[in-house]
Chain A
Amino acid sequence: MSTLSKNTFSRRAFMRTSTLAGGGMLIGFNLFQSCKPKVVPPVDLSQLNYNDFNAFIKIAANGAVTIFSPNPEIGQGVKTSMPMIIAEELDVAWKNVFVKQGILDTNNYTRQVAGGSQSIRFGWDALRQTGASAKQMLVNAAAARWGVDASECTVNEGVITNAAGETLGYGEVVNEAAALEVPENVTLKEPKDYKIIGKDAGNVDVARITTGKPLFGLDYKEEGMVYASVARPPAFGQKLVSYDATEAKNMPGVIDVITIGERARAHMNGDNRNWSAKLADSDKVVVIAKSTWQAMKAKKALKIVWEHNNPESTEKHNKILLSLLDGKKFNTLRSDGDINNAFATADKVLERTYESPFLPHNCLEPMNFFANVTDEKIHLVGPVQTPASAADTVADMLGRDVGDIHLEMTRMGGGFGRRLYGDFVFEAAEISNTIKKPVKMVSSREDDMGTGVYRPAIKYRIKAAIKDGQLTGYHLKEAAINDNMYGLIPNFFPAGAIENYQVDVASYNSNITTGAWRAPYTNFLAYAEQSFFDELTELMETDKIQLRLDLLEKVKGTNDDRIQYDPERMQNCIRTAVEKSGWGKKPEGTYQGFVNYYCHNTHVAQVADVVVENGNAVVKKITCVVDCGIVVNPMGAINQIEGGILDGIGHSMYGDFSFKNGAPVANNFDRYRLIRMNETPEIETHLIQNELSPTGLGEPTLPPVGGAIANAFKAATGNRLYQQPFIKTPELLKVPKKEILG
């Protein structure tokens, strides 16, 4: 099976070269788009312009290759895996490749974004073709010097050899190669010839991480920089009335106390629905000090009066969301057949409701950003997943040209979706614009957890119709805070497999800010759906695996282009998981739960093994099968897969974030529980081997694992779990006493 992409578009469209002053070749290229017709890369590295090209490769006269990797790094490994793809086609030794994080100069290009597990999927073709084109130019230059045909030259790790056995290193021909035309057609390698792709490569920053080098936003410093600690409304819906900073201003190191908010609000232009408007709704009081500690300490000494306005609570949300599910006001996102008729004529009906809380992201590096706004330019440095839109917003807020903005991305101490929302960039910029100094805005953990852009609380109600032993109807209803599922999610499994199928959504507009959280919507939906299927197989008295395989069989040959999961690949994952996990063949005392799921273009099947210790059900092992096409870097891939699984287990088990009087009940790790070492089961991963284009891994293993453990807990205890986090109902995680005795 091979669907390697052909060279369908011209390299001329997105790649150009120049000879660097002092020697060496610079290749500018654009991922995901073509470039302007006449731009050329600069001849001086200090002039790299990411408006003209969003990535660059430098081949030095000594043959060393430096790749300026464009995508922000949040721990998902693209700073390693994307350059690996270029290096493979360029045919250089991976150990001779250096990777540098690109800088954002302006916002005039697409997808310099870390999110949606899409970096590798979208970059695959462009990265390979860039590497292959550069290689061809180097070979053409060597062939011209030798006076031979390029087709008789071979390349191995940056050394070109001709038929007579003479050799030239890339460095020896870079200057000539840079002057050549970019070839119209190049041949891409066959996967069987890969030397870098598919081999383990360590994280390119690992030695700097293990020695504590300043890589992160919080580590960035500049001469004359001051620190800012921001007092934001302690509850959602509150607004600043007045404040007394007398005591704070007299504290050591305090330079000034100011308010910000006006510019952020002006930018919103009356739109009060989205996350940034809600976070900018009130003015904020900012302490400026000579050190972080002094700023944080003085913030606590501020006496602030906040006006309370429509405080919300989890208790209220629960009632509202349940009444939405009971009601009739829905948006229908997909409707096949006649769902009402299916239920009217059913022999059996199963209906269940699944409930989830809000979740904070809790990136371990709290939100922070550096800004230095001067009349000449705006310098922004820090961790943000959406640098382009952050730069755009800052320019608009401050009434400046986006060309004035120079934004440098640092490594990010976690993202999980939180750093898609640049409120901390806007704050830093507004502060620096007011005080006219370079400033670092630093949130405390309490600030970070208390003013987030949370995963919204959601409830799902799923109802299935069974007639003559067949699944004839499936109705999924969603009630969510603020926003509903989007994109192709309504067309995920079991869409296409059941004749009468409907997805309805409803939402309640809250003043609590919500947004993307690792695997948006599916992070809870997958658990709900896969728990429901587990229960359904019991009601239908059918085999858990066979029902899934049979439903997938019905999707084969569909001409519905909204259905993007591949039933055959999913069946293969399921069968592999059955085999590798020893499904149904475990010794007495081990209870298993099965799930399969497709999201972010990747197919996954998982089996959880649970045992009973002192009457409590405990997760011991997860077996995970993943089909993400070609695996660029298995070492990095498995790290993502395991991290996703443990993140999914942790939040299903412990993630509890509720609101009282508009404020979150938990604001630090003493009251908000994250998964830790002792709760970590063994994980066994199997990667399906094929030659299909690679898909993402940052998210897909997280959503279903909550279902895997819930289904295994049911097998162990007899209890179904309908609410996350599971720890909230500890009695359901125990084996009923009489069974222990019996």
Chain B
Amino acid sequence: MPTFQLKVNGKSKTVDVAADTPVLWVLRDHLDLVGTKFGCGIGQCGACTIHVDGNPLRSCSTTLEQVKGKEITTIEGLSADGTHPVQEAWIEVDVPQCGYCQAGQIMTASAFLENNPNPSEQEIKNAMHGNICRCASYTRIRKAVAIAAEKMS
């Protein structure tokens, strides 16, 4: 099997996997970074969202070829100690119910706020529309993104 060099959360990693292995499973099974979740496998739910060069991407539908030479950030690397403003806002609002989708929600929200630090409520809703929360904690997600925006500006 081919060897791939990846840059994940600021560290260089070498993995020995088939070229068609989605980045999601490389992170989870090979690099022990299980914070990125498997939900649907077809890019519909957003549980597997990571940042690639700062842009949100569905890791279940992303190949190793697509991330070659790029910076991958996962929920484990979003901040050194869990104090990214989005993470802090999530705790403040107490967003999670089951919690399974929340890493993906946080990765989507943090990438969104980097590009749009002063979003309107409708912009927040549109940005978060692609991430499913099966427990439907949407009212709190909305609130937490708004609070995070305030913290970041």
Residue of A nearest to B96 (CB): A209
Residue of A nearest to B45 (CB): A669
Residue of B nearest to A682 (CB): B139
A643 engages B44 (CB within 8 Å): no
Q: How far is the CA of A209 from the CA of B34 in the complex (A)?
A: 11
A646 engages B39 (CB within 8 Å): no
B128 engages A677 (CB within 8 Å): yes
Indicate whether A293 reaches chain B with its CB closer than 8 angstroms: yes
Least CB distance from B146 to A in Å reads: 13
* Residue of A202, A205, A211, A682 touching B75 (CB-CB under 8 A): A211
Task: Using known A-B contacts A203-B94, A291-B25, A411-B99, determine if residue A211 contacts B140 with beta carbons closer than 8 Å.
Answer: no
Indicate whether A344 reaches chain B with its CB closer than 8 angstroms: no
A218 engages B38 (CB within 8 Å): yes
A668 engages B40 (CB within 8 Å): yes
* Residue of B33, B90, B125 touching A677 (CB-CB under 8 A): B125
B86-104 CB mask vs A (1 if < 8 Å, else 0) is: 0100110011111111110
Q: How far is the CA of A729 from the CA of B25 in the complex (A)?
A: 40
Task: Using known A-B contacts A252-B1, A412-B98, determine if residue A678 contacts B22 with beta carbons closer than 8 Å.
Answer: no
A364 engages B21 (CB within 8 Å): no
A646 engages B99 (CB within 8 Å): no
Least CB distance from B125 to A in Å reads: 5
Q: How far is the CA of A207 from the CA of B18 in the complex (A)?
A: 34
Interface-located stretch among A72-80, A236-244, A327-335: A72-80
Indicate whether A561 reaches chain B with its CB closer than 8 angstroms: no
* Chain B hits for A640, CB < 8 A: 97
* Chain A hits for B133, CB < 8 A: 364
* Chain A hits for B34, CB < 8 A: 212, 214, 218-219, 221
Indicate whether B106 reaches chain A with its CB closer than 8 angstroms: yes
Least CB distance from A681 to B in Å reads: 9
A677 engages B141 (CB within 8 Å): yes
B140 engages A639 (CB within 8 Å): yes
A362 engages B42 (CB within 8 Å): no
Residue of B nearest to A252 (CB): B18
B139 engages A206 (CB within 8 Å): no
Indicate whether B68 reaches chain A with its CB closer than 8 angstroms: no
Indicate whether A636 reaches chain B with its CB closer than 8 angstroms: yes
* Chain A hits for B1, CB < 8 A: 252
Q: How far is the CA of A680 from the CA of B102 in the complex (A)?
A: 17
* Residue of A213, A291, A363, A411 touching B134 (CB-CB under 8 A): A363
Indicate whether B119 reaches chain A with its CB closer than 8 angstroms: no
* Residue of B33, B96, B125 touching A206 (CB-CB under 8 A): B96
Residue of A nearest to B98 (CB): A75
B35 engages A206 (CB within 8 Å): no
* Chain B hits for A682, CB < 8 A: 139
B100 engages A414 (CB within 8 Å): yes
Interface residues of A in 169-203 (CB under 8 A from B): 200, 202-203
Task: Using known A-B contacts A291-B29, A642-B139, A669-B42, determine if residue A218 contacts B98 with beta carbons closer than 8 Å.
Answer: no
Residue of A nearest to B24 (CB): A293
A643 engages B42 (CB within 8 Å): no
A414 engages B74 (CB within 8 Å): no
* Chain B hits for A218, CB < 8 A: 34, 37-38
Q: How far is the CA of A221 from the CA of B34 in the complex (A)?
A: 10
Indicate whether A675 reaches chain B with its CB closer than 8 angstroms: yes
A678 engages B126 (CB within 8 Å): yes
* Chain B hits for A77, CB < 8 A: 97
Task: Using known A-B contacts A77-B97, A293-B25, determine if residue A364 contacts B47 with beta carbons closer than 8 Å.
Answer: yes
Task: Using known A-B contacts A211-B35, A291-B30, A677-B141, determine if residue A414 contacts B129 with beta carbons closer than 8 Å.
Answer: no
Residue of B nearest to A211 (CB): B82
* Residue of B87, B103, B135 touching A643 (CB-CB under 8 A): B135
Interface residues of B in 63-82 (CB under 8 A from A): 74-76, 82
* Chain B hits for A442, CB < 8 A: 38
Indicate whether B55 reaches chain A with its CB closer than 8 angstroms: no
* Chain B hits for A212, CB < 8 A: 33-36, 74-76, 103
* Residue of A202, A412, A416, A683 touching B139 (CB-CB under 8 A): A683
Least CB distance from B151 to A in Å reads: 14
Indicate whether A676 reaches chain B with its CB closer than 8 angstroms: yes
Indicate whether B137 reaches chain A with its CB closer than 8 angstroms: yes
* Chain A hits for B75, CB < 8 A: 210-212
Indicate whether A674 reaches chain B with its CB closer than 8 angstroms: yes
* Residue of A293, A412, A650 touching B21 (CB-CB under 8 A): A293
A680 engages B136 (CB within 8 Å): yes
B97 engages A76 (CB within 8 Å): yes
* Chain A hits for B99, CB < 8 A: 75, 203, 205-206, 209, 215, 411, 413
Looking at A216, A291, A363, which has the most chain B CB atoms within 10 Å of its CB? A291
Least CB distance from A46 to B in Å reads: 25
Indicate whether A575 reaches chain B with its CB closer than 8 angstroms: no
Q: List 21 A-B contacts (CB under 8 A).
A: A75-B97, A77-B97, A203-B96, A209-B96, A210-B96, A211-B76, A212-B34, A291-B25, A292-B28, A293-B25, A364-B37, A365-B39, A365-B100, A411-B99, A413-B101, A414-B98, A445-B42, A646-B136, A668-B41, A677-B131, A678-B125
Q: 7 smallest A-B Cβ distances: which pairs?
A: A212-B35, A75-B98, A413-B100, A646-B136, A212-B75, A75-B97, A209-B99
Q: A291-B29, A364-B133 are in contact. List 4 more A-B contacts (CB 8 A).
A: A364-B37, A642-B136, A642-B137, A680-B142
